[in-house]
Amino acid sequence: MGRWDCLVELRTTVHRVRHGGEEYRVVKAVPRSGRAVLFRKEWSLDMFVDLEVARNVAAGWGLVARSRRSLVYVPLRAEREGPGGLPGWFHSSVVDLVLVQGGLGFPVSRWKAVRAGLGAGRPQVMEIPETDFSGEKEPEDWRRDELRFGFAAETLFLTGSAEAFRWTGARVHSLVREGPARALAGSPWRPYDSVMLHHEGDLTAKGPVKGPGVLNIEYAHGWKAG
């Protein structure tokens, strides 16, 4: 297998920000193209991505699993509309996404100030091996390592262990590998393929105090710029 067959690339800017006596490393995804939006509703979070952004988001999962000391920031608020055919009640508030390992102990209340101090950053292309997305664990092994949701400054935080990000990242990456074929095989009026994640693995969708507890990431086949 050649080098370009086994790597997922993520274009980023890398930032160092001091706040509250700490220095934080923020890796900000810089999409070259593509469309994505993350709606925050009362009962759920719904992210729609085209294939280009699905690759970026999967790479972000792989990156945070490898980067114990980094916050991986995926800006999403620039897009205000989702794919065509969505019910009107989908078009609620939109939020950004940050992925971070729990061991960093980052207080989400600091995010607004840290984000304001990012500056231009240093461009860097991150390369994530495809093999990072190939592993799966039995439920009894991964339930205690599920992701946790948090909210601050119009941003969804997903926090967990490296193992939690590897497990859920394999599911997100399946949208890249299998999403186009599954979407084409589905309903023509709703050509999506999705992954559902729950706060702390709670399938009742009970979320944290300040927000919903279920995140749907949907690959929207054929979503074009309006």
pLDDT of residue 142: 47
pLDDT over 90 (residue 90): no
pLDDT over 50 (residue 114): yes
Q: How many angstroms separate the CA atoms of 176 and 180, rounded?
A: 7
Between 100 and 171, the higher pLDDT residue = 100
Residues 169-211 pLDDT 10s: 888 888 887 777 666 665 544 556 788 898 887 666 566 666 7
- Range with the lowest mean pLDDT among 37-46, 48-57, 79-88, 124-133? 79-88
pLDDT of residue 205: 55
User: Residue 26, SS3?
Assistant: strand
Mean model confidence pLDDT for the chain: 82
Q: How many angstroms separate the CA atoms of 172 and 21, rounded?
A: 35
Give, as one character, the DSSP assignment of residue 177: H
Q: Per mean pLDDT, which of 13-17, 78-82, 145-149 is the most reliable?
A: 13-17
Is the distance from CB of 62 to CB of 133 less than 8 angstroms? yes
State the residue for tokens 């710029």. 225
Other beta carbons within 10 Å of 200: 15
Residues 119-166 pLDDT 10s: 999 999 998 887 887 655 544 554 555 789 999 999 999 999 998 898
> 132-140 — which CB contacts under 8 Å span 24+ positions?
132/62, 132/65, 132/66, 132/166, 132/169, 133/8, 133/58, 133/62, 133/166, 133/169, 133/170, 133/173, 134/170, 135/166, 135/167, 135/170, 136/167, 136/170, 137/163, 137/167
Whole-prediction pTM value?
0.87
Choose among 176, 168, 155: nearest CA to 196. 168
State the residue for tokens 């923020």. 26
Burial class (CB in 10 A: 0-12, 13-18, 19+), 182: middle
User: Residue 102, SS3?
Assistant: helix
pLDDT of residue 203: 65
